[in-house]
């Protein structure tokens, strides 16, 4: 049975979630990842399955899960009709915080100058909870290549032979500097990938990337962990605003969202809440790009949309919008309908009803006042239009 297609799909899915997939032994047509990736520079020795005959003991029709004393986890599969061993990991099976990393450094007597390297090493490790969809995919793959009678075996072992190192175990500072540079480059590349996803409105990709980032991935510059996260969130809020602007969103829409997030960042009280807000920021800016991008529209349509969005209480007839640009009304009407799929009247009414629903939900303004804010002075006509749009009257919408 040929399973190369399934294997490639599995590899690509894990790698998109920043989980390393490697192959050991037997040669491979697939690119091998660097399993060690800084481990030996920090701890003075190679991972145990790279230095012993561990892999030779692995049977077929099994998934092996290895959990070690460094909180690192791996999975192993011996592929059918092949000498290759697929290695998945390292990854974390539970979140790890800064205090735990410092305790690991103390336990294994790492010198102080290596603490940032150790922090960066753990920061790039993905966190895979037990219910992760990746385990479901791996289960389906194993069922495909082994049949339904495969088993899962849990392994527990030490990833280091000793907690004591001699001075000879220390690696040259030059290697450590190169490792630090590599880790920094990887973090910046990951941030850029996230920002590019936002600029394209790729919500699914941004969510996937955010979910694969552990708490430690956010840069530490101060001793106060909460202040560190807040500062990083403020920086990301600015970068995301610029990413959304690059994605074609006008500053008129960006300013309010950016200011709102800036206020909320400073009001947060704990680290977990900051990270939740960070995820919300990425999703919100993605959705804003998807909803408000003007890149695909011609200049006259862009200007008409911006005039509508800037003041829904203004005179927004086809004639007034065309006159403001010194263009023919029929030309603007045809162009707007062709590019948006809606007439200007339908677009204006839709935006006014959306704003009305927002005001009904978030304020106690009288309905006639809300109607006026939406540019409709006849409250009966406003109510009729609102019910046509939302299948409920303004009062019913407020009371729901």
From first to last of its 400 residues, the chain has per-residue pLDDT tens of 678 888 888 888 887 777 888 887 765 444 444 555 667 667 766 676 665 566 777 888 888 888 877 888 888 888 887 778 888 888 888 877 777 888 888 887 877 777 777 877 787 788 888 888 888 889 888 888 888 788 888 887 666 655 444 433 444 455 555 655 665 666 666 677 777 777 777 776 666 666 555 544 455 555 577 787 888 888 888 888 888 888 888 787 888 888 899 889 988 888 778 778 888 888 888 888 887 777 788 889 988 988 888 788 888 999 999 999 999 999 999 999 998 899 999 999 998 998 899 888 888 889 999 999 999 989 999 999 999 999 999 999 988 7
Quote the CA–CA distance of 305 and 292 in Å, as a whole number.
10
Q: What are the CA-CA distances from residue 373 to residues 122, 260, 311, 352, 398 (Å)?
A: 52, 21, 9, 9, 16
- Residue 166 is predicted with a pLDDT of 45
Q: Count of domains in the chain?
A: 3
Q: Is 273 contained in some domain?
A: yes
Say yes or no: 13 and 137 in one domain. yes
Residue whose structure tokens are 């490639």:
8
The closest of 269, 271, 166 to 215, measured between CA atoms, is: 271
Say yes or no: 90 and 209 in one domain. no
Q: Is 229 contained in some domain?
A: yes
Say yes or no: 353 and 238 in one domain. no
Convert the pLDDT of each residue in 76-93 to its tens digit: 888 887 778 888 888 888
Say yes or no: 33 and 110 in one domain. yes
Residues 6+ apart with CB under 8 A from 381: none
Quote the CA–CA distance of 372 and 166 in Å, as a whole number.
78
- Token readout for 295 is 């890149």
Out of 170, 189, 206, a domain closes at 170
Q: Is 138 contained in some domain?
A: yes
Say yes or no: 349 and 260 in one domain. no
Say yes or no: 241 and 352 in one domain. no
Out of 112, 135, 170, a domain closes at 170
Say yes or no: 336 and 273 in one domain. no
| CATH number of the domain within which 331 lies | 1.10.10.60
Out of 141, 170, 199, a domain closes at 170
Q: Is 175 contained in some domain?
A: no
Say yes or no: 154 and 68 in one domain. yes
Say yes or no: 147 and 189 in one domain. no
Range of the domain at 155: 4-170
For the beta carbon of residue 265, count every other beta carbon within 10 angstroms.
Answer: 21
Say yes or no: 14 and 162 in one domain. yes
Q: Is 380 contained in some domain?
A: yes
Say yes or no: 276 and 339 in one domain. no
Say yes or no: 275 and 340 in one domain. no
Q: Are 243 and 285 in contact (CB under 8 A)?
A: yes
């Amino acid at each position: 049975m040929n399973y190369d297609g399934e294997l490639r799909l599995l590899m690509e899915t894990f790698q998109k979630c920043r989980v390393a997939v490697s192959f050991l032994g037997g040669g491979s047509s697939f690119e091998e990842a660097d399993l060690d990736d800084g481990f030996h520079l920090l701890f003075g020795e190679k991972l145990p399955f790279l230095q012993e005959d561990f892999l030779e003991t692995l049977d077929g029709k099994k998934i092996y899960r290895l959990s070690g004393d460094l909180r690192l986890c791996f999975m192993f599969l011996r592929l059918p009709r092949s000498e290759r061993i697929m290695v998945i990991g390292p990854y974390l099976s539970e979140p790890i915080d800064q205090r735990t990393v410092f305790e690991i450094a103390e336990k294994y007597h790492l010198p102080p100058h290596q603490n940032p390297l150790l922090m960066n090493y753990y920061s790039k490790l993905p966190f895979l909870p037990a219910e992760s969809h990746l385990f479901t995919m791996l289960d389906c793959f194993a069922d495909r290549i082994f049949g339904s009678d495969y088993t899962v075996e849990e392994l527990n072992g030490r990833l280091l032979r000793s907690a004591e190192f001699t001075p000879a175990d220390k690696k040259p500072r030059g290697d450590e500097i190169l490792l630090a540079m590599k880790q920094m480059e990887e973090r910046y590349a990951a941030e850029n990938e996230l920002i590019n996803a936002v600029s394209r409105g790729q919500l699914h990709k941004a969510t996937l990337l955010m979910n694969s980032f552990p708490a430690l991935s956010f840069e530490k510059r101060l001793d106060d962990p909460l202040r560190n996260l807040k500062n990083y969130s403020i920086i990301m809020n600015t970068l995301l605003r610029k990413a959304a602007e690059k994605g074609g969103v006008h500053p008129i829409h960006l300013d309010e969202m950016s200011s709102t997030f800036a206020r909320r960042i400073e009001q947060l009280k704990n680290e977990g809440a900051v990270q939740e807000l960070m995820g919300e920021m990425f999703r919100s800016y993605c959705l804003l790009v998807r909803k408000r991008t003007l890149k695909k529209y011609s200049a006259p349509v862009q200007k008409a949309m911006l005039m509508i969005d800037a003041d829904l209480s203004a005179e927004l007839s086809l004639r007034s919008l065309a006159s403001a640009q010194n263009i023919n009304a029929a030309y603007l009407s045809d162009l707007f309908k062709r590019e948006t799929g809606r007439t200007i009247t339908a677009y204006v009414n839709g935006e006014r009803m959306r704003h009305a629903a927002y005001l009904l939900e978030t304020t106690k303004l009288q309905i006639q006042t809300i109607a006026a804010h939406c540019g409709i002075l006849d409250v009966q006509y406003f109510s009729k239009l609102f019910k046509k749009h939302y299948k409920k009257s303004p009062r019913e919408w407020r009371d729901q």
